[in-house]
């Protein structure tokens, strides 16, 4: 019998780096798919890496033929800023790629007769608040409110959430002999901040860029206003949440997509905490109005009570401890500043 494996798409990206380390150390057999070859340190931890795109259905056929996949962590995506430059390509990767993976999961499940767990990182970008007054009034938003994204990436995330729910609950509803084999679960991530990797192509990137630049001794020009406020969480908390959501019985879940957050902070608050740790750093502002408008359309905070109640989501780090206990010491080590 073939050994059940977990496939991770977009494995070389920010979330992939930490997720693979966690999955490998818990003994999971891993197969990865990424458009770029994996960093050798990451490659050592996986059984097999496929280099290619989630849009390549013949590559997915090869994986299907060779492996018995039990779990899919579908991380591959183009982020919000990058997607605005090439919307049609972004849609192709973000939505058609996800549809390919859902179909792949259904066919895997049909072939081995068990549901395939499909874990999907959606985003705070799924929200769209019309203007600053609406953002101020909205406060902490729940999953079903204000879902009118202003970015292509946000539209893509929302449609993939719906596709996942369709495959889980209604796939081929008019066919008599179809067993649904996809168990789709999504989190809406806030801005994620990692001490190990620097994001690229996102709009919440300023938080990570600020701290990494300061630790490298480089000056940084922040592209949003000081008062810009959105929710964030650390990468270790984000990865822990994915693993926790993947591990709970389906019966515990009352929905297919869950808000997550650990703290809500303004760019000025983040700048202040970074400057306390690296007093010689220079962090200035030059607002990019277009990117600013994107972050302004995201809520200042989200209501994560469904995740807390249904599957015990509980981030380890709040704003103070995220910087004091994780980000500052880890970036110091990373850039030899300790």
Residue ranges that bind ligand AKB, judged by CB under 6 A? 79-80, 123-125, 153, 189, 191, 202-204
**Helix or strand or coil: residue 307?**
helix
Shortest Å distance, C-beta 234 to ligand AKB? 13
Which of 170, 48, 64, 71 has its CA nearest to residue 108?
A: 64
Whether the Cβ atoms of residue 206 and residue 166 lie closer than 8 Å to each other = no
Shortest Å distance, C-beta 203 to ligand AKB? 4
Q: Which is nearer to ligand AKB, 49 or 297 (CB)?
A: 297
Q: Which is nearer to ligand AKB, 64 or 293 (CB)?
A: 293
Q: Which is nearer to ligand AKB, 60 or 265 (CB)?
A: 265
Distance in angstroms (rounded) separating the CA atoms of residues 247 and 197: 26
Q: Token pair 């902490």 is at which residue?
A: 140
Q: Which is nearer to ligand AKB, 63 or 322 (CB)?
A: 322
Shortest Å distance, C-beta 126 to ligand AKB? 9
DSSP states of 93-121: IIIIHHHHHHHHHHHHHHHHTSPEEEEEE
Shortest Å distance, C-beta 307 to ligand AKB? 16
Shortest Å distance, C-beta 204 to ligand AKB? 4
Beta bridge partners of 34: 51
Shortest Å distance, C-beta 50 to ligand AKB? 25
Q: Which is nearer to ligand AKB, 50 or 232 (CB)?
A: 232
Q: Which is nearer to ligand AKB, 77 or 116 (CB)?
A: 77
Distance in angstroms (rounded) separating the CA atoms of residues 245 and 237: 12
Distance in angstroms (rounded) separating the CA atoms of residues 30 and 39: 15
Shortest Å distance, C-beta 124 to ligand AKB? 5
Q: Locate 54 and state its tokens.
A: 């989630």
DSSP states of 235-280: HHHHHHHHHHHHHS-GGG-S-SEEE--SEEEEHHHHHHHHHHHSTT
Q: Which is nearer to ligand AKB, 108 or 208 (CB)?
A: 208
Shortest Å distance, C-beta 154 to ligand AKB? 8
Distance in angstroms (rounded) separating the CA atoms of residues 210 and 271: 7
Which of 202, 200, 277 has its CA nearest to residue 232?
A: 202
Distance in angstroms (rounded) separating the CA atoms of residues 9 and 118: 11
Shortest Å distance, C-beta 105 to ligand AKB? 22
* Residue number with the smallest Cβ distance to ligand AKB: 202
Q: Which is nearer to ligand AKB, 183 or 257 (CB)?
A: 257
203: phi then psi, degrees, rounded to nearest 5: -110, -15
User: What is the Cβ-side half-sphere exposure of residue 149, based on CA atoms within 13 angstroms?
Assistant: 18
Q: Which is nearer to ligand AKB, 115 or 299 (CB)?
A: 299
Let me know if 59 is exposed, middle or buried by CB neighbors in 10 A (0-12, 13-18, 19+): middle
């Amino acid at each position: 019998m073939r050994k059940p494996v977990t496939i991770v798409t977009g494995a070389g990206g920010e979330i992939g780096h930490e997720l693979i380390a966690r999955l490998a150390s818990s003994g999971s057999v891993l197969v990865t798919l990424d458009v770029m070859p994996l960093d050798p340190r990451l490659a050592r931890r996986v059984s097999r890496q496929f280099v290619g795109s989630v849009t390549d259905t013949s590559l997915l056929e090869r994986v299907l033929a060779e492996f018995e996949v039990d779990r899919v962590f579908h991380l591959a995506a183009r982020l919000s800023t990058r997607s605005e430059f090439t919307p049609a390509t972004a849609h192709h990767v973000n939505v058609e790629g996800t549809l390919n993976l859902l179909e792949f999961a259904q066919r895997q499940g049909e072939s081995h007769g068990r549901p395939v767990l499909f874990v999907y990182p959606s985003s705070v970008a799924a929200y769209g608040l019309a203007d600053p007054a609406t953002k101020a009034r909205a406060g902490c938003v729940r999953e079903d409110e204000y879902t009118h994204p202003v970015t292509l990436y946000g539209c893509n995330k929302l449609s993939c959430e719906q596709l996942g729910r369709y495959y889980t609950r209604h796939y081929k509803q008019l066919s008599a002999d179809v067993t649904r084999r996809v168990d789709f679960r999504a989190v809406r991530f806030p801005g994620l901040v990692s001490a190990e990797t620097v994001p690229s192509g996102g709009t919440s990137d300023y938080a990570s860029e600020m701290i990494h630049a300061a630790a490298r001794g480089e000056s940084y020009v922040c592209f949003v206003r000081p008062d810009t406020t959105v929710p964030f969480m650390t990468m270790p908390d984000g990865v822990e949440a994915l693993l926790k959501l993947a591990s709970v019985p389906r019966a515990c879940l009352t929905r297919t997509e869950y808000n997550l957050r650990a703290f809500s902070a303004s760019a000025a608050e983040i700048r202040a905490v970074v400057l306390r740790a690296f007093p010689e750093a220079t962090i200035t502002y030059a607002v990019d109005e277009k990117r600013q408008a994107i972050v302004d359309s995201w809520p200042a905070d989200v209501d994560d009570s469904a995740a807390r109640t249904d599957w015990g989501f509980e981030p380890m780090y709040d704003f103070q401890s995220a910087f004091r206990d994780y980000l500052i010491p880890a970036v110091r080590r990373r850039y030899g500043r300790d």
